[in-house]
Structure 1
Amino acid sequence: MGARRPPRHVWVEEIMGMPVSVHVRSTRATPGPGTEQAVQDCFSELREIDRLFSTYRRDSDVSRIGRGELTVRDADPLIAVVESACRVAQEETHGLFSAHWRGTFDPTGYVKGWAVERTARRHLAALVEHEIAVGINAGGDLQLFTAADADWQWNVGIADPQRPGAATATLGIRDGAVATSGHAERGAHIIDPRSGRAAIGVASATVVADGLTQADVWATAAVVAGFDDRAWIATAGTRTGILLADDGRVARWLGPTQIDIVAAAA
């Protein structure tokens, strides 16, 4: 028989219009000291970020900026932090990502990954001092932590867009982030900021990086670039990833290097 898996404790809340869950692997039947409070503090900060950045709330700072009622400078200080970071991301992706392409500030494609990484590092990362591992899942995007001396890794399944409910690959990760973007589940909702048209060609792009901010930006950029333009991989600074094309082709990379491209089945 295999080793007994450590107890798992899970908290789930609906935040930013999606289920957000925190998973803790522990040596105990109940969470360790301070764990419950850390999880609730994480959720609370995520709700506050959503209050500031949601494009679905008329009273959010971002919505008020869009209507011309508020400036970035006069908004909550976090708005300026994200606005500046979005400009850096646009430059680093050579325009594959943009929060300004419509002529106003809309950080929807950036703020989820940034918010989850920020709150996870502020409230959850230190839990591995007395827990085995802790991770947060926001709509399928993950930020994961594992105690340095723990015999544990997170096994993350990558959904196969051609076969609903099946996985095309499994990644083993101790610490880091995983983000997936594409139109396999939500349709062609990702817009190429260079043309204003829906990005096509990539059914799913999964990116592994140190932090979810970076992983999320590059997953979106990969979809916008399309399957045949993978030059961005060399300078993105990601750990690894996988692209699944609409026609069934698969491309994988490790660090800055593409390691294989699998043609579509005949």
Structure 2
Amino acid sequence: MKARQGALRSIEEDTVVGAISRRRFIQISGAAAGLALGAPVRAATSEANLTIWHGIMLGAVATMKIYHHDRGEAERLIAAAYSEARRLERLFSLYLEDSDLMRLNRTGILVGPPPEFVELLKASLRFAELTGGMFDPTVQPLWELYANHFAQEDPDPSGPDKASMKAALACVGYHRLSVSSERIVVPKGTAVTLNGIAQGYITDKIVELLHSRGIDHTLIDMGETRAIGARPDGEAWEVGIADPEFPERTQAGLPIVDRAVSTSGAYGFRFDPAGRFNHLFDPMTGGCGHLYRSVTTIAETATAADALSTAFSLMDQKRIEALLSRAGIERAHLIDETGAMIDLVV
């Protein structure tokens, strides 16, 4: 599993994204790396009634494109969505020391956990079961193992030693996670990461909020991308997948209407200069994924697209095809090790 990074681009605004951070940096609609949180701005496009907000959420660039005839209302909607996203970030973040997730990992227990935390962990366990453990929210010990190894002076380029890997793997396994509305428990040594699903979940929650307030045409990216309806002109949103080797180029374009898109790629974060070790962790072996340069999924929800782009990165094509309909994935776009593109459609 990952704290991983994809590369999508909005074709109509010709924006390209590269890999720069621990977590996926998916950029839609012209956001730039390192932007601080800011106020909504009127889009510098010919489209009337469009307001765009850019900021940082869960360690990734986030974007909201709101089409509304009343700019004041658009800004109020963005403020409400931002407030909700920040509230959820305080539950799931590995960057905020006082988040609920960090408290769980420090103490091993959360009593009376927030309902959203329970909902997301239960969804994580469902995806873990569905994928035979390829999606696993307890791979944080593997991240810590690799990060600590390569933080050493002159680390062994072949990676962590077998004994250290065995010890880390002993702490990994979604069955070790106990989740109920009353309490969440993990045993000592086990740690949870939601970086492979939280951004998708937050994106879905923001979409629900905006849709309930009457928004019918919007593109949201909270680290994952989801469209509400079509573009105001009735055309599909065009989301492009960047070439993993040359991120300024578009390798493929995907039209979406009322759908979510997520991309995972081994190039998103590399622990070592040679790129042998990345953030796509195999929970069974502790190794890192290299089957594909990138995996893109399209689904009804960003939560599903996010989780399954992670898991599919560790599966061969035949296994992915067998899971598509069961997993709720309508299309998977793979770029294999040679750069060849493979489209799998339900």
Residues 197-225 of structure 1: CA deviation (Å, up to 9, x unaligned): 21122111111111100111111111121
Partners of 2:201 and 2:95 lie apart in 1 by 18
Which AA in structure 1 matches 2:340?
Answer: R
CA spacing shift, 1:200–1:42, aligned 2, 3 Å: same
Q: Secondary structure in 2 aligned to 1:199?
A: coil
Residue 116 of structure 2: aligned partner: 78
Paired AA for residue 185 in structure 1: G
Deviates more, 1:104-113 or 1:146-155: 146-155
Alignment of 1:102-113 (within 5 A): 102=172, 103-113=190-200
| Residue 138, structure 1, aligned to residue 180, structure 2 | no
Structure 1 residue 125, shift from structure 2 partner: 5.9
Per-residue CA distance 1:81-103 (angstroms, 9 max, x = gap): 22212111111122110112433
| Residue type at the aligned position of 1:250 | M
Q: The residue matched to 1:64 in structure 2 has which SS?
A: helix
Higher strand share: 1
Equivalent residue in structure 1 for 2:253, among 138, 161, 170: 170
3-state SS, counterpart of residue 225 of structure 2: strand
Task: Answer whether contact 1:159 1:167 (CA < 8 A) is retained.
Answer: yes
Q: Give me the whole-angstrom Cα distance separating, in 1, the residues matched to 2:232 and 2:67.
A: 14
Q: Kindly, what percent of the aligned residue pairs are identical?
A: 25
Q: CA separation in 2, counterparts of 1:166 and 1:143?
A: 22
Aligned with residue 330 of structure 2, among 223, 239, 259:
239
**Contact in 2 for aligned 1:127/1:134 (Cα 8 Å):** no
Aligned partners of 2:286 and 2:206: how far apart in 1? 32
Match of 2:19 in 1: none
Counterpart residue number, 2:266: 183
Partners of 2:218 and 2:231 within 8 A in 1: no
Report Cα offsets for 1:19-58 as digits up to 9, x if no partner: 21101245x4x53x63221211111111111111111222
User: How far is the alpha carbon of 1:148 from its aligned partner?
Assistant: 9.7
Once superposed, what is the RMSD of the aligned Cα atoms? 2.4
CA contact (8 A) 1:128 1:146 kept: no
TM-score normalised to structure 1 length:
0.82
Deviation at 1:105, TM superposition (A): 2.7
Gaps of 5+ in 1: 256-266
The one of 23, 41, 60 equivalent to 2:99 is 60
After superposition, what is the alpha-carbon deviation per residue over 1:199-252, rounded to whole angstroms, capped at 9, x for unaligned? 122111111111100111111111121456434335322111210112223210
SS of residue in 2 equivalent to 1:62:
helix
Residues 223/60 of structure 1: CA separation in 2 closer, same or farther (3 Å cut):
same
Aligned residue for 2:284?
Answer: 194
Opposite residue 47 of structure 2, the aligned amino acid is P
The 2-side partners of 1:23 and 1:253 are apart by 29
**Alignment coverage as a number of residue pairs:** 244
- 1:6 maps to which residue? 47
- Does the Cα contact within 8 Å between 1:114 and 1:213 map onto a contact in 2? yes
**Is residue 2:304 matched to residue 1:221?**
no
Check 1:163–1:125 CA distance in 2 against 1; reply closer, same or farther (3 A cut): farther
SS in 1 for 2:129: helix
Cα 1:44–1:159 change in 2 (3 A) is same
